């Protein structure tokens, strides 16, 4: 009798539909629209088998270095193609030293690494992105205080402070 009753109760409970109150929410990478206003100090273009890596060192900005990756096409990859991809063409056809750049790019952030230099009172920040073509930004901030570094990154990246705090990882050096 116990087994029959237990079986009937189990079947009845399993036949009922249940609604979940909370929907499953997958983690998504934060999106930002970054505006860059900087001066090129040096450009290094390295062509590899599947892509061309472009490194731009800058001045007059907290952003000190930008790294881009462009897929290789059948034709020879030139700086003109880079300028077109960054939306600089026809104003800028070649990335030369002392060229003033104003770029606005949508980015998807993966991780923010901050190295706090306590003695020197500054921070080196590396921001890795998941988008094409911008892969990485290096920033030097004039503070080694966690809350100030987070606020400055949020301002530069046009992100809410909570998003920065989710992505940032610290390394503290004396």
The SS3 call for residue 174 is coil
User: How far apart (Å, rounded) are the C-alpha atoms in residues 165 and 133?
Assistant: 25
pLDDT in tens, 1-26: 666 677 777 777 676 655 555 555 55
Tell me whether residue 16 is in a domain. no
pLDDT of residue 94: 80
* Tally of domains in the chain: 1
Question: Which residues 6+ apart lie within 8 Å of 35 measured at CB?
Answer: 102, 103, 104, 158
For the record, the structure tokens of 7 come out as 């079986």
H/E element holding 123?
A: strand 122-129
Whether 157 shows a pLDDT value over 60: the answer reads yes
Residue 68 belongs to domain spanning: 31-173
For residues 110 and 45, the model is more confident at 110
Number of residues that make up the chain:
174
> 5 in a domain, yes or no?
no
Name the pLDDT band for 77 (thresholds 50, 70, 90). low
Omega of the bond leading into 90 within 30 degrees of 0 (cis): yes
Q: Minimum mean pLDDT among 61-70, 80-89, 100-109: which range?
A: 80-89
């Amino acid at each position: 009798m116990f087994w029959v009753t237990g079986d009937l109760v189990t079947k009845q409970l399993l036949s009922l539909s249940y609604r979940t109150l909370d929907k499953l929410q997958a983690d998504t990478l934060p999106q930002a629209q970054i505006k860059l206003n900087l001066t090129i100090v040096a450009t290094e273009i390295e062509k590899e088998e599947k892509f061309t890596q472009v490194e731009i060192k800058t001045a007059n900005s907290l952003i000190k270095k930008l790294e881009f990756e462009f897929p290789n096409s059948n034709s020879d990859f030139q700086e003109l193609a880079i300028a077109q991809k960054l939306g600089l063409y026809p104003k800028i056809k070649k990335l030369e030293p002392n060229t003033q750049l104003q770029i606005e790019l949508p980015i998807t952030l993966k991780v923010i690494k901050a190295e706090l230099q306590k003695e020197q009172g500054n921070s080196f920040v590396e921001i890795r992105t998941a988008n094409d073509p911008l892969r990485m930004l290096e920033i030097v901030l004039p503070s080694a205080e966690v809350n100030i570094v987070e606020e400055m990154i949020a301002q530069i990246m046009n992100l809410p402070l909570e998003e920065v705090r989710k992505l940032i990882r610290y390394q503290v050096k004396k």
